[in-house]
């Protein structure tokens, strides 16, 4: 089971790679800046994630997600977007309010809850912002 912080690093790495259309990876300083932490803090976490086979990381090199890391990051992103959809569609949160609450809810570890929530919502393809919701299998 991943910690709150580990999940946030994986999700950030996934987003940065996507935003930058990077195939070679992201630098530690870029990660640190994106997350609002010191480069040494980011380096320490990346070492931990490497030990768990979630990232490819070498000192002074670019960071990429392993296949396990990518699946874990997509799972967090999926939870986030399913929660945003639920908050928007069923609890009448405005689309600009859902992100902050979903940031907290995405760290719930019950896969059954997220699957049931997705089923309850009719298996939506997109969140309220128009972003695609990853499928449970990582697609």
Four-point Cα dihedral 91, 96, 99, 105, nearest 10: -20
**Digit-coded pLDDT (tens) for 55-108:** 999 888 889 999 999 999 999 999 999 999 999 999 999 988 999 999 999 999
pLDDT of 21 strictly over 70: no
Q: What single string gives the DSSP state of each residue in the chain?
A: ---HHHHHHHHHHHHHHHHTT-SS-B-HHHHHHHHTS-HHHHHHHHHHHHHTTSEE--TTS-BEE-HHHHHHHHHHHHHHHHHHHHHHHHS---TTTHHHHHHHHTT---HHHHHHHHHHTT--SB-TTSPBPPPTT--
pTM: 0.89
Q: Say what the pLDDT of residue 58 is.
A: 87
* Tally of CB atoms within 10 A around 89: 16
């Amino acid at each position: 089971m991943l910690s709150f912080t580990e999940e946030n690093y994986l999700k950030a790495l996934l987003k940065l790679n996507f935003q930058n259309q990077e195939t070679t990876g992201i630098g530690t300083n870029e990660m640190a800046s994106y997350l609002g932490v010191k480069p040494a803090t980011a380096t320490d976490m990346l070492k931990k994630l490497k030990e768990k086979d979630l990232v490819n990381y070498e000192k002074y090199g670019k960071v990429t997600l392993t296949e396990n890391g990518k699946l874990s990051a997509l799972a967090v992103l999926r939870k986030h977007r399913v929660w945003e959809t639920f908050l928007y569609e069923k609890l009448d949160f405005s689309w600009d309010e859902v992100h902050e609450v979903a940031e907290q809810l995405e760290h719930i570890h019950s896969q059954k809850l997220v699957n049931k929530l997705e089923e309850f919502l009719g298996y939506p393809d997109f969140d309220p912002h128009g972003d695609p919701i990853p499928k449970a299998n990582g697609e």
